[in-house]
Structure 1
Amino acid sequence: MSRLFRDIAGDPLCADGSVVCIGAFDGLHLGHQALVRQAVARAHVLGVPVVALSFEPLPREFFAADAPPPRLGPVRAKVEGLRALGVDVVGLLRFDARMAAMTPDAFVEQVLVQRLRAREVWVGPGFRFGHRRAGDIVTLHALGETAGFVAGEIVPLVLDGERVSSTRIRAALVAGDFAAAAALLGRPYAVSGRVVHGQRLGRTLGYPTANLRFGGRVPALRGIYATRVRGVEDLTGSAAPWPSVSSFGTRPTVGGVEPLLEAHLFDFDGDLYGRRIEVEFVARLRDEEKFSDLSALVAQMDRDAAQARRLLGPPPESARTRAAPPQAAQRQGFA
């Protein structure tokens, strides 16, 4: 089982050495995956653990605290994705004023050498680090020669003539182009998390929802979507994802503030509180908007649900035989 650490200071985590890859890893797209797989392959050759090193908050969030840039996924999804790729140790270093002021030399000595005993360090194209982004791959090469590690930079991963990047994925999501986002991610865009209690307003409106928080980060998309939910298969008797309509935003009609993902599973009866689910985005229906009253909101929700049903089709046949009437769904498992 892989380990997670947050601090620079402490005893060496990899006493016999390690192979380290460094990146934001937001969304863990195909470019990130190529970087991690390179590090994993080299670690297997050397017989040492592989470490994926990132920061929380991300540097760009720290420097733009009043208007943080959007995230592709919550922190937990990043950690789980890195572990699934074979990473042994995940570092989410606390990026604060002290970290921002750290010189490239100090970062290499304290983190890569003392903490991780790095034997190889791998980064993506254009990597910069240290105070005022003073360090780059050339810096890593030079410091590595003295410290005893080798530094490498993977070649850019290009798709359709452009480099794969989180920026491209965010733009695709904003445009509702989920096919393009999936091509860059190597999988459909989805948000996962544990279902939490909400205000229970959806239940009173006839649209109970399974609610996921986004870890206090700004999501990369906002609006109303046709979605599919995974993680309910044992309750439905079907391996297929469950069709749903979802709202991702702050719920301005009811005075919401925190971004929340609310998924209404069609014709579903079951208790989802505390369960980990994954909401896959299929199509964008409309922007989030503020309505004059709850009646106007419900009328629009009716139209949204009808449109999503047409796009997604009905729940799996085997599961629909177990589905309860709508009033039962309003009683159980949703906020």
Structure 2
Amino acid sequence: MLQLCRDASGAPLAPQGSVVCIGAFDGVHLGHRALLARARERAAALGARTAALSFEPIPREFFARGTPVPRIDDARGKIVQLAAAGADLLLLLRFDAALAAMSPEAFVEQVLVARLGAREVWIGADFRFGHARRGDPVLLRELGARLGFGVEVFPEFLVDGERVRSSGIRAHLAAGDFDAAARLLGRPFMIGGHVVRGQQLGRKLGYPTANFRLGRRTSPVDGIFAVRVHGIGPVPHAAVASLGVRPTVNGTEPLLEAHLFDFDGDLYGRRLDVEFVAKLRDEEKFSDLDAMVRQIDLDAAQARSLLGVPEARPAGACA
């Protein structure tokens, strides 16, 4: 069971000590999982806890000052994936002006030592921390030698010769290469959430949808997609989906809408996960709703073909 804490100060979270992995952990990809697996091994050998130290919002979101920053996972997804990867303690710090202004020395003393009881700290080679990003692996090792913890820099993790990085995965997703992204993530790319009520326009047009709000999350993908929806039954349900602002109906809020093929049921309030399989096209503004429906017909047929779902037979039709 993962223990989740949000505060930089407070009682020690690991009196027996911990092996700490630090990072933004966007996506918790195969490189992150390899890092956590190594940390688990070391924690077991030392009789310590396996701790992940991360931030919400992630630092680049904070410094972007309102500019949208695409994320592979939202905070909930990151927590779920870190637990699945083997962390038993997650210190998910609120990244704000106070934390950004903390000196590297204070961060190490107050967070790594006093809060987490660090015995070893595992980082990537490009890890920077503290005010003005003054902290680096060299300084961390110096502080560790003085304060009693070791520092290990985890080497680059490669899959098929490609370095596994969150930025690279986001680039694959933006390009619509979901197979490449899944190869580096170690799982399909999904967006999850609770189904909310929309304007019911899809139902009127013959394409009822399950709608998901993105909230504060900025998706690395947008457009029209062939997808699979998880959480309805024992197997994923094929669907066609759009993710965007719906310019034809003058929408403003990004919304994920999934039309489930050959499905009739009430999904409001259910938590589902939408797996992205293939991008069909970019979002566009149509001259009227009839033109939009004609294109949706084509999108649905293409998604059915890609997902191996035959066209539904009319009622009473015989083979």
- TM-score tier by shorter-chain length is over 0.9
Distance 1:277 1:32 in 2: 25
> 1:76 is paired with a residue of what secondary structure?
helix
C-alpha contact 2:125 2:155 (8 A) present in aligned 1: yes
1:69 aligned partner: 69
> Would the alpha carbon gap of residues 82 and 292 (structure 1) be closer, same or farther in structure 2, given more than 3 Å must change?
same
1:259 aligns with 2:282: no
> Would the alpha carbon gap of residues 34 and 199 (structure 1) be closer, same or farther in structure 2, given more than 3 Å must change?
same
C-alpha contact 1:192 1:276 (8 A) present in aligned 2: yes
Distance 2:128 2:240 in 1: 41
- Displacement of 1:221: 0.6
The one-letter amino acid of 2:248's match is: T
2:297 aligned partner: 302
> 2:240 is paired with a residue of what secondary structure?
strand
> 2:188 is paired with a residue of what secondary structure?
coil
Distance 1:47 1:117 in 2: 12
Q: Runs of 5+ in structure 2 lacking a partner? A: none
Distance 1:65 1:295 in 2: 40
2:153 aligned partner: 153
The one-letter amino acid of 1:181's match is: A
Divergent runs of 4+, >3 A? none
- Displacement of 1:275: 1.9
> 2:99 is paired with a residue of what secondary structure?
helix
1:291 aligned partner: 286
Alignment of 1:128-147 (within 5 A): 128-147=128-147
> 1:42 is paired with a residue of what secondary structure?
helix
- Displacement of 1:195: 2.0
> 1:99 is paired with a residue of what secondary structure?
helix
Alignment of 1:224-243 (within 5 A): 224-233=224-233, 239-243=234-238
The one-letter amino acid of 2:304's match is: R
The one-letter amino acid of 2:235's match is: A
> 2:262 is paired with a residue of what secondary structure?
coil
Residue by residue over 1:109-165, the C-alpha shift from the partner in whole angstroms, topping out at 9 and shown as x without a partner, is 111111111111111221111111111111111111111111111110123433111
Give the share of equivalent positions with the same residue, in percent.
61
Residue by residue over 1:280-322, the C-alpha shift from the partner in whole angstroms, topping out at 9 and shown as x without a partner, is 111110001122322222222111111111111227xxxx9xx
C-alpha contact 1:267 1:324 (8 A) present in aligned 2: no
1:211 aligned partner: 211
> 2:296 is paired with a residue of what secondary structure?
helix
Q: Runs of 5+ in structure 1 lacking a partner? A: 234-238, 326-335
After superposing the two structures, state which structure 1 stretch, 76-85 or 199-208, moved more.
199-208
2:195 aligned partner: 195
TM-score, normalised to structure 1, is 0.89
1:44 aligns with 2:44: yes
The count of corresponding residues between Structure 1 and Structure 2 is 314
Distance 1:198 1:50 in 2: 42
Residue by residue over 1:25-61, the C-alpha shift from the partner in whole angstroms, topping out at 9 and shown as x without a partner, is 1111111111121222212222222111111111111
Distance 2:4 2:308 in 1: 41
Of 229, 240, 244, the match for 1:249: 244
